[in-house]
Chain A
Amino acid sequence: MRRHYILAVMATLTVVCVFSAIAQERSSSTAPPSATTAASATAQSAAPAATHSSESATAASDAAAIERSLRLEGEKRFRANCGRCHMPPHKFPPRVMAAAIRHMRVRATITDEDMRLILRYMTQ
Chain B
Amino acid sequence: MPITTANPQATRSTGTAFARILAISLLLLTSSVSCLAAQSQSLDDVKPVPLLTGGAGFITFFDAGEPHLVPLVSPVVLLPIGQRWLFEARGTFESDMVQLPGRSGFHGEIEKAVDYAQLDFIANPYLTVTVGRFLTPFGIYNERLYPIWIRNLQTDPLILPISIGPSNASTGAMLRGGFKAHPQFNINYAVYFSALSTTTTVDSARFAGGRAGVFVPKARLEIGGSFQHLLQDERSNSFGFHAFWQPNALPLDIRGEYIHSKRGSGYWIEPAYRLSQLPFWQSAMRRTQIVARLQQFYVGDLPDYNLPSVNTRQFEFGLNYYFIDGMRAVSSYGRQFSADGNSNVWTVGLTYRFVIPLGHAGSD
Contact = CB atoms under 8 A, between A and B. Distances in A.
Tell me if chain B binds chain A.
yes
B177 A14 contact: no
Contacts, number: 183
Interface in A66-124: 76-77, 80, 83-87, 89-90, 92-103, 105-116, 119, 123
A108 B222 CA distance: 12
Question: Is the interface on chain B under 10, 10 to 19, 20 to 34, or 35 or more residues?
Answer: 35 or more
B115 interface: no
Nearest to A91: B325
A10 B29 contact: yes
B39 A21 contact: yes
Contact of A95 (B21, B173, B364): B364
B348 to A, nearest CB: 20
A97 B362 CA distance: 10
A87 B363 contact: no
Contacts of B144: 85, 107-108
B40 A94 contact: no
Nearest to B195: A5
A102 B50 CA distance: 11
Could you say which interface size class chain A belongs to?
A: 35 or more
Contact of B51 (A6, A25, A99): A99
Contact of B178 (A25, A97, A111): A111
A107 B147 CA distance: 12
Interface stretch (B62-70, B116-124, B257-265): B116-124
A117 to B, nearest CB: 11
Interface in A1-50: 3, 5-7, 9-14, 16-18, 20-21, 23-25, 28
A83 B43 contact: no
Contact of B355 (A80, A85, A100, A116): A100
Interface of A: 3, 5-7, 9-14, 16-18, 20-21, 23-25, 28, 76-77, 80, 83-87, 89-90, 92-103, 105-116, 119, 123
18 contacts: A5-B193, A13-B175, A20-B126, A24-B125, A28-B39, A84-B222, A90-B325, A93-B362, A94-B361, A98-B80, A99-B50, A101-B44, A102-B43, A102-B80, A107-B143, A111-B179, A115-B43, A116-B44
